[in-house]
Structure 1
Amino acid sequence: MSIMADAALDLRLRKAAAAWLAERALRQQELATKEELAQFTFEGRRVALLDPQRGIRKPAFLDAALSIRTTFTPPGHPPPYEDREGPDGLLRYKYRGNDPNHHENIALRRAYQHQLPLIWFVGIAPALYLPRYPVWLIADEPEQLQFAVALDEAQRLIQPGGVVDTDRRRYIERLTKLRLHQPVFRARVIQAYGTTCAICRLRHRSLLDAAHIIPDGQPAGDPIVPNGLALCKIHHAAFDQNIIGIRPDYRVEVRSDILIEIDGPMLRHGIQEMHGCQIALPRERSAHPHRQRLEARYEKFRAAA
């Protein structure tokens, strides 16, 4: 069966998969395990959305790839494949191996040729993924063994491989940050902290944020787990506003003027009583907040106080 011979079936499958993932996200199930992704059912048949062994998923009854995957890499470890931005600011997805005519690369090439939307599963933890969809392949670059990826409709309008001016590149990078980097950073940080606020132990995912220790865009402000803290929205705002600081020894410090302020129960129980408490830490030591970053951020808190 070819895509051109049954384009309607192909389109129905992709729309159904996207709708299923969107419905999960509405139920606060934006992350999915390999087992859950294998349970997707389409028109009476089970169609796994993720290949358990390969990075590129092509159902047997289609000619083109349905999804791509980036495996989880623990903090401090090099990834097996690096999907980097090109000089035009667009992300690249690496081929499977070094053969452009490997059957998985051919499946991706067919998705590119017919401009079919793909699902990109980004590893958040072992066997746990954050779906990003739809994405499109907008250039095949066999010399570099990679495809150029557009994360939204606006990026599809960019001419891959061309020279872009500074403003256009910033625009492209901002879209990539909004569509990929920020959601992945949030998911990885919250997962590392066991879906728990590091300060108050609140466990409602929809009320949790990933707070940068060193702000995004500053030196050492990388979107990596050791530069993040899982905080509820109240404590995230308090941290950003220097109402709360976190010392390099992982102790919470509340600004002195806030400690003596009289207000309602939220201030008393939610902030003042946190003074001196130790934050919860991720189970994996490699995911612990970086002490030098904490120290630099704590100095800014002290200056503000």
Structure 2
Amino acid sequence: MAWLDRRYSPDNPVVHRQELLDFKFEGRRFPLIDNQLGIRKPAGLTAALSILTTYTSDGQRAPYEDALGSDGFLRYKYQGNPEHYTNRGLREAHTLRVPLIWFFGVQQGMYLPFYPVWIIADEPQHSQVAIGLDEAQVTLAQNAESLSPLERRYSERVSKQRLHQPVFRQRVIRAYNSSCAVCCLRHVSLLDAAHIVPDRDERGVPAVSNGLALCKIHHSAYDENILGVRPNLTVHVRSDILQEVDGPMLKHGLQEMDGVTLTLPKRRVDRPNREAIEQRYELFRAVG
């Protein structure tokens, strides 16, 4: 985890698979992930060291399916047979209350690490364990059966903010080749992953096809309905904004974007969902 701290940078928080396989500890090779399995339980350690969620494209499965329970805690499935040594390693991590690392796939062979995380419950009847992402969730889990609605909502918000949102951001920005879809700005620190259908809407799934990589000014303009995206994927700047007279940012940053065609991901599966674009554009038109 200290190595991951040193490895981290805001512009590039992901780690490559080969880095994790080639990791060395005290001068010897000590992989942080298993080459074949989702759970890494090294020989000589009682508990598991890490868990891994493989990257999958939109459409292959629902985003984060079965990941979030009704109590707001995330789940992780067993590796096959419940008595497999890796699953026993997860249970030992729970018993010993030791932290793990969760490597979540954001692109083929690239992972966003979350750490420390804890196994807060073992659920063999569902072949899974529950995961706590911070100490607050670990504390809540001690009384999981009697959580109030407020505590459940809090736990769900923590799970989304600490895992779903960072994963969504990385997947969207990487799909758009680290470039704003509107103005092509390529400064990663100034880019956001904007939802087309907001995540507060039940249809606002955390899928790349429900996202746009936008610089911060165009993200804010999109959220505030200053600009919209037509079903033909061209930008529509609100008419009253086009008539305003102000400085160069208004002129070059917003007014000149009217009619621009979005720059899209290379992979068709990553491109904006047509129904989501149409739904969001109708909202823009209603407000404008």
Q: TM-score range by the shorter chain?
A: over 0.9
Alignment partner, residue 193 of structure 2? 210
Q: 2:129 aligns with which of 147, 156, 168?
A: 147
Could you tell me how far apart the structure 1 residues matched to 2:69 and 2:256 are?
A: 48
Alpha-carbon deviation of 1:105? 0.8
Structure 1 residues 161 and 95: CA distance shift in structure 2, 3 A: farther
Once the two structures are superposed, the pairs formed by residues 174-253 of structure 1 within 5 Å of their partners are: 174-253=157-236
Query: Is contact 1:87-1:161 (8 Å) kept?
Result: no
- Deviations 1:203-249, CA, capped at 9 Å, x for gaps: 12211101011112113112211111110111101111111111111
Query: Does 2:106 match 1:106?
Result: no
Change beyond 3 A, Cα 1:212–1:79 = closer
Matches within 5 A, 1:28-107: 28-78=11-61, 82-97=65-80, 99-107=81-89
Q: Structure 1 pair 80/58, CA: closer, same or farther in 2 (3 Å)?
A: farther
In 1, Cα distance between the equivalents of 2:23 and 2:91?
Answer: 24
Instruction: Please give the secondary structure, in 2, of the residue aligned with 1:230.
Output: strand
Query: What is the CA–CA distance in structure 1 between the aligned matches of 2:235 and 2:194, rounded to whole Å?
Result: 15
Query: Quick check: 2:228–2:281 contact (8 Å CA) kept in 1?
Result: yes
1:241-284: per-residue Cα shift (whole Å, max 9, x none)? 11111111100111112122222222222211111111011111
Q: Please say which of residues 74-83 and 157-166 is displaced more in the overlay.
A: 74-83
8 Å Cα contact 2:191/2:214 also seen in 1: yes
Q: Quick one: which amino acid aligns to residue 224 of structure 1?
A: A
Is the 2:63–2:207 contact (alpha carbons within 8 Å) kept by the matching residues of 1?
no
Alpha-carbon distance, 1:27 to partner: 5.3
Structure 2 vs 1, CA of residues 111 and 292 (structure 1 numbering), >3 Å: closer, same or farther? same
Return the alpha-carbon distance in structure 2 between the equivalents of residues 291 and 85 of structure 1.
27
Q: Write out per-residue CA displacement over residues 44-63 of structure 1, whole angstroms, 9 at most, x where no aligned residue.
A: 22322222211011233423
Q: TM-score, normalised by structure 1?
A: 0.88
When normalised by structure 2's length, the TM-score is 0.93
- Using the TM superposition, name which of 141-150 and 77-86 deviates more: 77-86
**Does the 8 A contact of 1:88 with 1:160 survive in 2?**
no
Q: Which moved more, 1:134-143 or 1:264-273?
A: 264-273
Measured at CA, do residues 39 and 265 of structure 1 come closer, stay the same or move farther in structure 2, by a change above 3 Å?
A: farther
Instruction: Report how far residue 194 of structure 1 moved.
Output: 1.2
- The runs of 5 or more residues in structure 2 that have no matched partner are none
Runs of 4+ in 1 over 4 A off after TM superposition: 79-83
- Give the counterpart letter for 1:43 in structure 2: E
1:261-300 alignment runs, 5 A limit: 261-300=244-283
In 1: Cα distance, 2:187 partner to 2:3 partner: 22
1:83 shift after superposition: 4.2
- Give the corresponding residue for 1:131: 113
Q: CA deviation at 1:160?
A: 6.6
The answer to whether 1:25 aligns with 2:8 is yes
Q: Which letter does structure 1 place at the counterpart of 2:107?
A: A
Provide the secondary structure at the position in 2 that maps to 1:168.
Answer: helix
Q: Which segments of 5 or more consecutive residues in structure 1 lack a partner in the other structure?
A: 1-17
Residue 70 and residue 83 in structure 1: after superposition, are their counterparts in 2 closer, same or farther (change >3 A)?
Answer: farther
Letter in 1 for 2:9: L
The answer (yes or no) to whether the contact 2:54–2:104 under 8 Å persists in 1 is: yes
Most deviating of 71-80 and 114-123: 71-80
Residue identity over aligned pairs, in percent, reads 56
The answer on 1:303 being equivalent to 2:286 is yes
Residue 137 of structure 1 aligns to which amino acid in structure 2? I
